[in-house]
Structure 1
Amino acid sequence: MTREALRLQEAQDRTAHWRRWGPYLAERQWGTVREDYSPYGTAWEFFPHDHARSRAYRWGEDGIAGITDNHGRLCLALALWNGRDPILKERLFGLTGSEGNHGEDVKEYYFYLDSTPTHSYMKYLYKYPQAEFPYGTLVAENRRRDRHAPEFELIDTGAFDEDRYFDVVVEYAKAAPDDILVRVTATNRGPEAAELQLLPTLWYRNTWTWDGSDRPTLSAGGDTGAHAVIAGAHASLGARWLYCEGAPELLFAENDTNGQRLFGLANARPYVKDSINDYVVAGRTDAVNPEQSG
């Protein structure tokens, strides 16, 4: 019997919860019926992509190459920045039904390369342009075309000309049901050196806003010498730790809606959902929590 067959048997017998963590994180939560509270069912307009970085979801989360537990409580995904985009690349972008000349359509290049049945090993590839991601061009050109014309794709914008892009591979390997190694490998396919910032992101789904449950916490958990540590505490998941190789800068914010940006309302707490975006992209050093907790 192979090791994966043994894991499957243990999962079936409920002696080891090998399927607790897996690729259950949505690629896109914005613009879906899951988050639609509009009076006329206009899900695409009620929660657009422009809101996603600033607005807390209720029923799920999203991310690139992400994993979460089987109840969607704690999530891990990869954010990226090429030094040119107006926002962090935290989730997949696409066109809504009214924007695409052939309807709803994702405008990214990503590939699920491998996964065992228990998700003891997973591999994912994302292709990230080094040029500024053409959000506006994709929307404008596809809106201009009628349904008889071909779709205007990301590669048609010139974003991948001269192979100026990164191949970003994310791998997950489980030593035990709750012991997971994450490896991120970025390869510059272009002819010259180019900037790429990698931001593995750990966060809890916001349940406290909706049901009054206790707010979980993430905080800097000390330095082992070889690793920086983030410690998490959750009422049902218990204590969890993320060990980061080397000495990366740790950034902390809250998974709360930025009401000031979206609705002109004062925020009840500082360091809201888009704070890390503002720190990295806009250079706002006061955007993240100096106490290193969130």
Structure 2
Amino acid sequence: MHIMSTFEHERLELSRTGAQPWKLWGPYLSERQWGTVREDYSDNGDAWSYFSHDQARARAYKWGEDGIAGISDEKQRLCWSLALWNGQDPILKERLFGLTNVEGNHGEDVKEYYFYLDSTPTHSYMKYLYKYPQAAYPYDDLVQRSRQRNRAEMEYELLDTGVFAENRYFDVFVEYAKADATDILLRIEVANRGPDAATLHLLPHLWFRNTWWMAPDAPRPILRAGKPHKNAAVVEAQHPEIGNYWLYCEGAGELLFTENE
């Protein structure tokens, strides 16, 4: 009997035995943390109204994080995701948008186009695709038109808004490849599918989930600018549980740091 053996099989065995933590990092960042029972502290159990998509950009989560094409360690302590801006939207595209249970004529419904294209079992390689319109994202139109439809009618989809007319959108590919269990290479590739030149701003985010809110005296992690390396800007991340990590950003512009508390 022939037993198949590949590099991925070897990585799986190293992970199983605990020799190398090949599954420590993966696509563990939530797609949606807003509007979930995990973040619901309302008196009436109305999770959708208590924490909306609109609030998420200015309000801290307690039990998780979310983002586009994101990764994190297995306990979601250090997180990375990609934010986008097409120059037309009133807000950054930091997370997926969808209808709440009361807004959709068939209940909750994500209104985005994104695809998980590939992944190995240890997440040593992953590929993700997000389709981002070049025109302003029709947040209000999706909500208002969907509310007008009853359960017997078809859903009002993002394509129905006309925002993808003439293929005026970006294909945003995000690829991950692990050099080893804790060394991750990342590539972002953007393709303009429309007939005209268009601008897209890429804003990679690196942050810590707030695990210290219940213990104010607990040691806090640190994010700071590191010494530039060749043509790469460097962000140093120090965490009391997972140790030190460095994010190298080739061709990056200015590094921006915020304190969201």
TM-score range, shorter-chain basis? over 0.9
Q: CA RMSD in A?
A: 0.8
- Find the aligned partners of 1:181 and 1:248 in 2 and give their Cα distance: 19
Does 2:48 align with 1:41?
no
Matched-pair contact (CA < 8 Å) for 1:79–1:88:
yes
Structure 1 equivalent of residue 110 of structure 2: 106
Structure 1 equivalent of residue 59 of structure 2: 55
- Find the aligned partners of 2:184 and 2:229 in 1 and give their Cα distance: 18
**One-letter amino acid of the structure 2 residue matched with residue 33 of structure 1:** V
Instruction: Provide TM-score, normalisation by structure 2.
Output: 0.96
Does 2:99 align with 1:95?
yes
Quote how far apart the aligned CAs of 1:50 are.
0.7
**One-letter amino acid of the structure 2 residue matched with residue 226 of structure 1:** N
Matched-pair contact (CA < 8 Å) for 1:173–1:181:
yes
**One-letter amino acid of the structure 2 residue matched with residue 220 of structure 1:** A
Q: Percent identity?
A: 64
- Find the aligned partners of 1:43 and 1:52 in 2 and give their Cα distance: 13
- Find the aligned partners of 1:15 and 1:207 in 2 and give their Cα distance: 27
- Listed as ranges, the gaps of 5+ residues in structure 2 are none
Does 2:169 align with 1:179?
no
Q: Secondary structure at the match of 1:85?
A: coil
Matched-pair contact (CA < 8 Å) for 1:206–1:255:
no
Count, aligned residues: 256
**Which of 226, 244, 254 is the matching residue for 1:249?**
254
Taking the TM superposition and a 5 Å limit, the aligned residue runs for 1:81-230 are 81-212=85-216, 213-230=218-235
Quote how far apart the aligned CAs of 1:254 are.
1.8
Deviates more, 1:241-250 or 1:65-74: 241-250
Structure 2 equivalent of residue 72 of structure 1: 76
- Find the aligned partners of 1:224 and 1:127 in 2 and give their Cα distance: 32
**Which of 10, 22, 44 is the matching residue for 1:6?**
10
Per-residue CA shift, 1:171-225, capped at 9, x if unaligned? Answer: 0000111100010000000000111000111000012223323221111102112
**Poorly superposed stretches of 4+, deviation over 4 Å:** none
Higher helix share goes to which structure? 1
Matched-pair contact (CA < 8 Å) for 1:31–1:49:
yes
- Find the aligned partners of 1:27 and 1:180 in 2 and give their Cα distance: 21
- Find the aligned partners of 1:215 and 1:37 in 2 and give their Cα distance: 25
- Listed as ranges, the gaps of 5+ residues in structure 1 are 257-294
- Find the aligned partners of 1:32 and 1:121 in 2 and give their Cα distance: 29
